[in-house]
Amino acid sequence: MVLSGGGGGGDDVNIRPLVRTLAKGAAVAVGGVLSITMISSTAVAFFTQLKKDKFGSPTSSAMKNKNASPCNVCKQKGFYMCKLCKGDSTIEWSPLYDPVFINKCLCPTCDGHRIQQCLNCLGSGFILTS
């Protein structure tokens, strides 16, 4: 079956403008990705440097100012054994007042890590004094 019309099957298509358009689009996309990468890495480096200068951790700022005393609760470690599970990582719990059986559940305070952050010094090991 032959259709009437001048459909030459693509014989008269000029391929060079299509390749040129595709190359321009690829160049714009690659340039955009590279510029975004460069801008974001510069911003991260700048803000990291700014954070080191102004917003240091309590430990570093305390050591710089020499106005901190050591925490006696955690003995300068920043952590101590979990007081809820007593270092067992699980607690015995039942939703009923008079339980038939008791379930062992993961400790909600330490999430099973057996230690918790010191609430006196907030994990820095030093207490800031003014």
Identify the weakest region by mean pLDDT among 4-13, 67-76, 85-94.
4-13
The span from the CA of 80 to the CA of 9, in Å, is 79
User: Is domain 57-130 classified as CATH 2.10.230?
Assistant: yes
pLDDT in tens, 37-60: 999 999 988 888 766 655 445 555
- What stretch of H or E contains 93? strand 90-93
The pair phi, psi for residue 35, each rounded to 5°, is -70, -40
Q: Spell out the residues 6+ positions from residue 129 whose beta carbon is closer than 8 angstroms to its own.
A: 67, 68, 69
When pLDDT is cut at 50, 70 and 90, the band that residue 99 belongs to is confident
Indicate the domain borders of the chain.
Answer: 15-55, 57-130
C-beta separation of 116 from 73 below 8 A: no
Secondary structure class of 71 (helix, strand, coil): coil
